[in-house]
Structure 1
Amino acid sequence: MSRLDTLIFGCGALGQEVAMQLAERGIEVYLYSNDLDEVGALLAKGMQAAVVDFKNDDKLREIGIGRWVKRIFCLFSDEPSNLFLTLSARALDADLKIIGVCESAASGQRLMAAGATKVIDPYEISGHRVHERIARPYLVEMLESSLFGKHIDIAEIEIPDHSRLNGAMLNDLDLGSRFNLIIIGVVDLELGRELIFANSGISHRLDEGDILVVIGPEEEISRLKQAVAENSLEPTTDTGDP
């Protein structure tokens, strides 16, 4: 077994997707589970996976925690397993990066208290549990950014009166190149509190009072908020308004 410095615990759909997309970005990972059937299914797909008793500190040391491993993802489907692994891994290595994904603020607080370096909750957006509808690449972008040390946040930014963005198309904002941000979508209050996803294929025209939902580093979000407040942000394509 090669000495990879990035490990994923949890071989469910989320763990597999994160592993595959990080691999596409040149980050080789190993997946671990305590479920033999899960591991067998991954091996059949050609993925690197193995069974490990994560409740045994000696087994964790054998796979490199406290030795050469630099970061782990805690992606088990149940919170108790993620908490136990976080506690054990932190006890073995005070400098280990431990990245977890939670489904609630309370769950995130418990993981942080257990020793997680970063906890990302991509599921609470505009008061809705919309994680089943967010394209997985968005989640992986967040995890990858967290992997390399940036603090990621989710923000809602309202388009003010008389904004240059009024009348612009959502897809014309191009925040990725200008602010290093990912647009999740927009909340149009005239249509209710439902989030219109940027990847939904819907060509949405922005209006005053709409709320942009973005993900990215805190400093980039602050830059965007300032640009919107100062009315200095323009779409990349002319809206056609006089």
Structure 2
Amino acid sequence: MSLQKKVWMFGYSQESKMIAASLRDGNFVINIVESNKKNANDALLDGFKNTALIDVTNDDELEPLGIKTSDYIICVMDDEHLNVFLTLSLRSMCPKNEIISISHSIYTTQKLKMAGASKVIDLYQVSANRIHSIFKKPIATKILDSFISTSYEISFGEFTVPKGSCLDGVILENFDFSQFNIILIGVLDWELGDEFIFATTNIAHKLDVDDIIVCIGKNNDLQEFEKKLRMSSK
């Protein structure tokens, strides 16, 4: 039985509610930290018993929380200036922890990086390359996916190429994914190694059995594409 990962989430707004719910479903232990009494009460009402109401600008109140090195930290305060300040304080206090901060602009993203965030998820600047970098961080992937799937009914799909399917032996650049209303993000081509390769690179990829492709699109369209793959392999 695997040990549950502990997450410290600073901020409980409309956005972070989606993150918290998604992570709880993913079997993470969630600790909510708020400086706003109403938001803290909302967290308690939503079933997050490990909720603390403190002054997040006061290090003397942050330190007793007992954040361990193996714990994840997520900064998603409503006030972006406070989010930057908090990220800076937590980085000083927790130099080895994974700190993920949420941003809404390029300007804030740069500040959060300078403040010491391990990963910044800019909700309005998600590109194929950025998605790839987030893939390597499971908890960040979970957060990003919660925003996309909850807000826009869009999510990621991972597909293994079946033998004899419509993708078996196909040159990737010649396949029209738009006919299924989905977008190709990248591919794991075993002939080229075990590195994930972006769709933005200019290398010709011949897909083989068991290669893995990652696409983004509406849930229904991804499901239809998966059915097409299975049917074409029969």
**Residues 15 and 63 (structure 1 numbering): CA distance in 2 closer, same or farther, change over 3 Å?**
same
The TM-score normalised by the length of structure 1 is: 0.58
Q: Following TM superposition, by how much is the alpha carbon of 1:70 offset from its aligned partner in structure 2, in angstroms?
A: 2.2
Amino acid in structure 1 at the alignment position of 2:90: A
Provide the residue aligned with 2:60 in structure 1. 58
Secondary structure of the structure 2 residue equivalent to 1:77: coil
Provide the residue aligned with 2:116 in structure 1. 115
Do the aligned residues in 2 keep the contact of 1:5 with 1:71 (CA within 8 Å)? yes
**Residues 27 and 227 (structure 1 numbering): CA distance in 2 closer, same or farther, change over 3 Å?**
farther
Q: Are 2:179 and 1:205 aligned?
A: yes
Do the aligned residues in 1 keep the contact of 2:30 with 2:48 (CA within 8 Å)? no
Provide the residue aligned with 2:47 in structure 1. 46
Alignment root-mean-square deviation, CA = 4.2
CA distance in 1, matches of 2:23, 2:40: 19
Equivalence map 1:1-242=2 (5 Å): 5-48=6-49, 49-65=51-67, 67=68, 70-124=71-125, 146-147=137-138, 175-178=157-160, 205=179, 212=183, 214=185, 219-222=195-198, 224=199, 229-232=204-207, 237=228
CA distance in 2, matches of 1:121, 1:149: 11
Q: Following TM superposition, by how much is the alpha carbon of 1:231 offset from its aligned partner in structure 2, in angstroms?
A: 5.0
Structure number with higher helix proportion: 2
Q: Following TM superposition, by how much is the alpha carbon of 1:57 offset from its aligned partner in structure 2, in angstroms?
A: 0.8
Q: Following TM superposition, by how much is the alpha carbon of 1:89 offset from its aligned partner in structure 2, in angstroms?
A: 0.7
Amino acid in structure 2 at the alignment position of 1:80: H
CA distance in 2, matches of 1:27, 1:121: 23
Secondary structure of the structure 1 residue equivalent to 2:160: helix
CA distance in 2, matches of 1:215, 1:52: 43
Amino acid in structure 2 at the alignment position of 1:220: F
**Residues 216 and 106 (structure 1 numbering): CA distance in 2 closer, same or farther, change over 3 Å?**
farther
**Residues 110 and 226 (structure 1 numbering): CA distance in 2 closer, same or farther, change over 3 Å?**
closer
Amino acid in structure 2 at the alignment position of 1:232: L
Secondary structure of the structure 2 residue equivalent to 1:124: coil
Secondary structure of the structure 1 residue equivalent to 2:104: coil
Q: Following TM superposition, by how much is the alpha carbon of 1:175 offset from its aligned partner in structure 2, in angstroms?
A: 4.8
**Residues 36 and 124 (structure 1 numbering): CA distance in 2 closer, same or farther, change over 3 Å?**
same
CA distance in 2, matches of 1:95, 1:27: 20
Secondary structure of the structure 2 residue equivalent to 1:17: helix
Q: Following TM superposition, by how much is the alpha carbon of 1:178 offset from its aligned partner in structure 2, in angstroms?
A: 3.4
Amino acid in structure 2 at the alignment position of 1:212: I
The TM-score normalised by the length of structure 2 is: 0.59
Secondary structure of the structure 2 residue equivalent to 1:21: helix
Do the aligned residues in 1 keep the contact of 2:103 with 2:121 (CA within 8 Å)? yes
Do the aligned residues in 1 keep the contact of 2:8 with 2:74 (CA within 8 Å)? yes
Provide the residue aligned with 1:162 in structure 2. none
Do the aligned residues in 2 keep the contact of 1:7 with 1:69 (CA within 8 Å)? no
**Residues 216 and 205 (structure 1 numbering): CA distance in 2 closer, same or farther, change over 3 Å?**
closer
Q: Following TM superposition, by how much is the alpha carbon of 1:149 offset from its aligned partner in structure 2, in angstroms?
A: 8.1
Aligned residues: 174
CA distance in 1, matches of 2:187, 2:122: 13
CA distance in 1, matches of 2:110, 2:20: 25
